[in-house]
A and B are shown apart, each in its own frame.
Chain A
Amino acid sequence: MALKDIKPTRSELISLKRKIKLSERGYNILKMKRDGLILEFFKVLEVAKNSRGALLESYEQANAIIAVANTVEGAIGVRAAAMSVGETPEITLDQKNIMGVVVPDIKSTAVCKSLDRRGYGVLGTSAVIDETATAFEELVEAIIEAAEIETTMKRLLNEIESTKRRVNALEFKVIPELTEAASFIKMRLDEMEREELFRLKKIKAKSQA
């Protein structure tokens, strides 16, 4: 706000004082929100580290077991077993709120299935197919969990970033400018008061003379 645009009136000063008060209150609340979000972020970060580790572990395990399955059953056998899967996993996407940030709440069904619900017959396949199916089911579960946690983390980070920008804007731009404008008006008003006093004194002196 350029100082030349400011009307040095008392009402403007009152309104500026109100704005300063509001900005300072907003600044304090946003600062608390930022600190809260950072705390939440570190909590989620810890879970995310574990889930990322679990995901990598599941991925490596699934890759190792599919290599064994290709070795034992051949790619033809593995592809034929994969054709048996009739039931596809269902994923429901809900929302939850962390300090005003809407984050996803992913729930999955029919990912990990028991041996008799996988769609292939036990008598026509071998145990390595079971182990492969289990490894990949666990991988899908780990992916879903990691997706939820990492999206939460990204949204929290975005929110922390925007809150930080707001806090900084209030701290270094809005509040100083408003304070400067208020002190300018105050100074102007004081000056105007002094001018008025001086003028009155002059008039009085003239009238007495």
Chain B
Amino acid sequence: MAEVVNRGPGSYIYATTRMRVRKIKLVPREDYLRMLNMSLPEITRFIEETQYKAEIDELSSSFSGIDLMEVALSWNLAKEYQKVLDITPGILKEFTQNYLRRWDIQNVLNILRGKTQGLSSGKIKAVLIPAGGLDKDLLDSLLNEDSPERVVDALKGTGFSSLLGEEFPAAQESGSFARLENELYKQYFADLIVAAKSGVKGGVAFLEYIRFEIDIRNIQTLFRLKTGRVSDVRDMMIEGGSFTVEELQRLAGTESIDDLIDAVKSRVRVAPLDALLNEVRENMSIHEIENRLTCVMLEQMEKLSKRHPFSICPILVYLKKKRYEVENLRALARGKESNIPSERIQDYLVM
């Protein structure tokens, strides 16, 4: 049978139109604001009446209460991402797969950490979200391996094998997977840059976005490391953005958070980010800063997808927005459960 590689404009129009339709079905801002005034049972009912019902029904025998809702939301996210992978053809699929690899990284690391600590497969499985390229069956087979070394062996042939081969022995010896985790994410962004340059439509625009995302991630990390009093930040910075690693190291050496903000502001050309950096001075907690930076990132991506309507951008915008819908619904439910005031929950929502 001849292989069909759909590279024509038709595939883009089909895939992006379907994504746009899916995006319309996402929970709008007004509903989040309404939910902020609801009680937990009302929020639960609201979620049950939406697209998450199937997962809630499916998992109700294994989980209960707020855990049921959280797992159902994650499963729905995973299922939705797999559907997106099915819809997107040819080169779009490859690119989407690359983009979703961050879930694979998260799952692989959780399996390795769980196996190293001798946790049961059931406990490790509870923290896995099969939303990436590694499907449920493969993750199950990894869970059934006896040791972390065998998990690494079983991953040979996937995109992780070379980096795992280099970093895993040292990680196992030191008992800390932090460096391995950072390296995997750095490689993830490097691979995304390569993929964006591979000729996919909207790739050049997307490259610009990836660079912006890398910058935002690096700025977020700088704020965190500054608060955590870590002076050498080189290993934790992602290459490929508009700041070089040496430049970021110099920024990390600034005296105070205010100096850091000034230094970043002098280099940033994106207006919403500039405005946000002005607000950051006003005693914002680090996770609030992170949240606001994520909002800026989404806003930029949305603009990009409007400028390039038949490209990879609308697909990636949908993937991001779907992720934040799940996170917002979870935040609302968990926040209400913990009796966090609605105004504070609103600060944690990405709307």
A76/B127 in contact, CB under 8 A: yes
List A52-87 residues whose CB lies under 8 Å from chain B. Answer: 67-68, 70-72, 74-76, 79-80, 83-84, 86-87
A120/B229 in contact, CB under 8 A: no
B50: min CB distance to chain A, Å: 18
B322: min CB distance to chain A, Å: 15
Query: Does B211 lie at the interface of the complex (its beta carbon under 8 Å from any beta carbon of A)?
Result: no
Task: Provide the residues of chain B in CB contact with A72, threshold 8 Å.
Answer: 287, 291, 327, 331, 348
Pick out which of these stretches binds chain B: A11-19, A126-134, A185-193. A126-134
Task: Provide the residues of chain B in CB contact with A89, threshold 8 Å.
Answer: none
- How far, in angstroms, from A124 to B238 measured CA to CA in the complex? 12
B114/A83 in contact, CB under 8 A: yes
In the complex, the chain B residue whose C-beta lies closest to that of A122 is B236
Task: Provide the residues of chain A in CB contact with B109, threshold 8 Å.
Answer: 121, 124
Interface majority SS on B: helix, strand, loop or mixed? helix
Task: Provide the residues of chain A in CB contact with B160, threshold 8 Å.
Answer: none
In the complex, the chain B residue whose C-beta lies closest to that of A65 is B287
- How far, in angstroms, from A119 to B177 measured CA to CA in the complex? 6
B178/A74 in contact, CB under 8 A: no
In this complex, which of B129, B285, B330 has the most chain A Cβ atoms within 10 angstroms of its Cβ? B330
Task: Provide the residues of chain B in CB contact with A209, threshold 8 Å.
Answer: none
Given known contacts A119-B177, A130-B286, is B70 in contact with A124 (CB within 8 Å)? no
B224/A115 in contact, CB under 8 A: yes
Pick out which of these stretches binds chain A: B180-188, B198-206, B313-321. B180-188
Query: Does A34 lie at the interface of the complex (its beta carbon under 8 Å from any beta carbon of B)?
Result: no
Query: Does B64 lie at the interface of the complex (its beta carbon under 8 Å from any beta carbon of A)?
Result: no
Query: Does B37 lie at the interface of the complex (its beta carbon under 8 Å from any beta carbon of A)?
Result: no
Per-position contact with A for B107-128: 1 when CB-CB < 8 Å, else 0? 0011001101101000000110
Per-position contact with A for B227-250: 1 when CB-CB < 8 Å, else 0? 111100000101000000000000
B178/A128 in contact, CB under 8 A: no
Given known contacts A67-B340, A74-B70, A116-B178, is B286 in contact with A127 (CB within 8 Å)? yes
- How far, in angstroms, from A75 to B290 measured CA to CA in the complex? 19
Interface majority SS on A: helix, strand, loop or mixed? helix
B127/A79 in contact, CB under 8 A: yes
- How far, in angstroms, from A108 to B176 measured CA to CA in the complex? 20
A127/B338 in contact, CB under 8 A: no
Using C-beta atoms within 8 Å of the partner chain, give the interface range for chain B.
35 or more
In the complex, the chain B residue whose C-beta lies closest to that of A115 is B228
List A137-165 residues whose CB lies under 8 Å from chain B. Answer: none
Query: Does B258 lie at the interface of the complex (its beta carbon under 8 Å from any beta carbon of A)?
Result: no
Given known contacts A71-B334, A84-B113, A84-B177, is B217 in contact with A123 (CB within 8 Å)? yes
Query: Does A95 lie at the interface of the complex (its beta carbon under 8 Å from any beta carbon of B)?
Result: no
- How far, in angstroms, from A50 to B184 measured CA to CA in the complex? 45
Query: Does B335 lie at the interface of the complex (its beta carbon under 8 Å from any beta carbon of A)?
Result: yes
Of the residues A75, A76, A121, contact of B178 by C-beta under 8 Å? A121
Query: Does B32 lie at the interface of the complex (its beta carbon under 8 Å from any beta carbon of A)?
Result: no
- How far, in angstroms, from A79 to B129 measured CA to CA in the complex? 13
Query: Does A114 lie at the interface of the complex (its beta carbon under 8 Å from any beta carbon of B)?
Result: yes
Query: Does B345 lie at the interface of the complex (its beta carbon under 8 Å from any beta carbon of A)?
Result: yes
B127/A83 in contact, CB under 8 A: yes
B41: min CB distance to chain A, Å: 18
- How far, in angstroms, from A68 to B348 measured CA to CA in the complex? 9
- How far, in angstroms, from A75 to B72 measured CA to CA in the complex? 13
In the complex, the chain B residue whose C-beta lies closest to that of A66 is B338
Query: Does B44 lie at the interface of the complex (its beta carbon under 8 Å from any beta carbon of A)?
Result: no
In the complex, the chain B residue whose C-beta lies closest to that of A134 is B228
Task: Provide the residues of chain A in CB contact with B105, threshold 8 Å.
Answer: 124
Task: Provide the residues of chain A in CB contact with B331, threshold 8 Å.
Answer: 71-72
- How far, in angstroms, from A27 to B35 measured CA to CA in the complex? 73
Given known contacts A80-B127, A83-B127, A84-B177, is B290 in contact with A116 (CB within 8 Å)? no
List A93-120 residues whose CB lies under 8 Å from chain B. Answer: 114-120
Given known contacts A122-B221, A126-B290, A127-B286, is B127 in contact with A70 (CB within 8 Å)? no
Pick 7 A–B contacts, CB within 8 A, sort by A: A71-B338, A72-B327, A83-B113, A119-B177, A121-B177, A121-B185, A123-B238
Question: Which residues of A come within 8 Å of B, CB atoms?
Answer: 67-68, 70-72, 74-76, 79-80, 83-84, 86-87, 114-124, 126-128, 130-131
Which 4 pairs from chain A and chain B are nearest by CB? A121-B181, A115-B228, A67-B338, A86-B175
